[in-house]
Amino acid sequence: MAADLDMYVMAVDGAARAQDEDRLSQYLSDAEESAEHANHTLYKAVVRRARGVAHRLAGEWDEAADQLAAAADEFRALDTPWQIGRTLLELGEVEQGRKNIELARGHYLEALTAFEGLGAAPDSERARTAMESLS
């Protein structure tokens, strides 16, 4: 049986993937509190990424970039390439939104490299498409 922690983190991660602001606001606080209370390093990074997505969706570029960069560092420390790639895609979207095209391209390329190393074809295609959108 899944714990509340697992359920909150899955809900907030799903909301971030779906870019669903309402669900993010619904689950983010509970997910943050649960991950902190359990001191679950992976879940704290997942929640941090979701917080970054929420900031990006609200147009709060600096806050989004700060949260996503910190999450990427946490995922790197955990050596979780798929999570790193997902986070770098989000960072790329922040930089694209800020019109920092070269930074966006760098994040997308790094995400693509992470996904290709895993053989994660759908995510590789998403990163490739994001890079092509910069042209």
> Is 74 in the same domain as 108?
no
Give the dihedral of Cα atoms 56, 57, 60, 64; nearest 10 deg: -20
- What domain range includes position 118? 80-135
Pair (100, 44) in one structural domain: no
29 plus 94 within the same structural domain = no
| Counted domains in the chain | 2
Q: What residues of the chain score a pLDDT lower than 50?
A: 1
Predicted model pTM: 0.94
What is the 3-class SS of the chain, one letter each residue? CCCHHHHHHHHHHHHHHHCCHHHHHHHHHHHHHHHHHHCCHHHHHHHHHHHHHHHHHCCCHHHHHHHHHHHHHHHHHHCCHHHHHHHHHHHHHHHHHCCCHHHHHHHHHHHHHHHHHHCCHHHHHHHHHHHHCCC
Asked if 91 contacts 106 with a C-beta cutoff of 8 angstroms, the reply is no
Mark whether 52 and 95 lie in a shared domain. no
Closest of 93, 123, 114 to residue 19, by C-alpha: 93
> Do 3 and 62 share a domain, yes or no?
yes
pLDDT tens, position by position, 118-131: 999 999 999 999 99
Of the residues 63, 79, 95, which one is the last residue of a structural domain?
A: 79
- pLDDT in the model for residue 3: 81
Based on the domain organization, do 64 and 20 belong to the same domain?
yes
